[in-house]
Amino acid sequence: MFIGHFAVGFAAKKYAPRASLAALLAAPLFADLLWPPLLLLGWERVRIDPGNTKMTPLDFVSYPWSHSLLMDVVWASLFALGYYLLARYWAGTIAIWLGVISHWVLDWITHGPDMPLYPGGPRYGLGLWNSVAATMLVETAMLAVGLWLYVRETRARDRIGRYAFLAYVLLLLVFYFGDAFTAPPESVGQIAWPGLIAGVVMMVWAWWFDRHRMQAKTPALEFQ
């Protein structure tokens, strides 16, 4: 799953409006942000295998540290704890904990049977990726709902808040639909390096435009 993870982060803004969108996105994307550096370190492995599922030419040979349920619970707890110590904001802390774990659940629905319960443990996957149409329908619908919640919860303070946000969404869609029509990568480096760089850029960019948006509704407390 790709834009579906972004959908979770955008939607979380409704429940944790004072948390930065960057943190709310980094949580559901955490496993995928961790994956490229682990590939480069050789701790996790992927094989290029066109036709593995209809949606991706990748065979996820082994990714116990980024993509097992047990490790995702560990990452969720560490991320949530770190966030709580910095921000002292319960709604954001809970959104982050649930967000990190949501990655496993959503990947379990989309991937073939390669999602481990724990490192070295049994692997599961319902295989939504065997249908391109179904995958795109589900993910596009998820993103639409996530964006709708985000747009209702926030409003642009200035042009950056409006246009940098719109450009972000547009780029997500271009990545997502463009990827379905491009040739498979030729090497693991061609996945890991762009993945690593894109991950950092997308988080910083989200932090940037989100700072230029504000809560659409003034919290009731401010009237008291």
Shortest distance in whole angstroms from residue 187 CB to Zn ion = 20
Locate the DSSP E strands across the chain.
45-48, 58-62, 115-116, 123-124, 154-156, 213-215
Beta carbon nearer to Zn ion, 72 or 153: 72
In the complex, minimum distance from the CB of residue 32 to Zn ion, in angstroms, rounded to a whole number: 4
Cβ distance to Zn ion smaller for residue 27 or 164: 27
According to CB under 5 A, which one of 32, 72, 139, 153 is a site residue for Zn ion?
Answer: 32
- Beta carbon nearer to Zn ion, 100 or 164: 100
Distance between CA atoms of residues 33 and 206, nearest Å: 15
Smallest gap from residue 37 Cβ to Zn ion (A): 14
For helices 189-211 and 30-41, the axis angle rounded to 10 degrees is: 150
Q: Would you say 108 or 165 has its CB closer to Zn ion?
A: 108
Instruction: Return the closest-CA partner of residue 19 out of 102, 101, 86, 77.
Output: 86
Own/partner pairs, 45-52, CB within 8 angstroms, 24+ separation: 46/188, 46/191, 48/184, 48/185, 48/186, 48/187, 48/188, 50/184, 52/112
Q: In angstroms, what is the minimal distance from the CB of 211 to Zn ion?
A: 27
Of the candidate residues 44, 72, 107, 210, the single one contacting Zn ion (CB under 5 A): 107
Using CB under 5 A as the binding rule, whether residue 153 contacts Zn ion is answered as: no
CB of residue 137 vs Zn ion: minimum separation in angstroms? Answer: 19
Q: What is the DSSP string of 48-60?
A: E-TTSSSS-SEEE
Residue ranges that bind Zn ion, judged by CB under 5 A: 31-32, 107
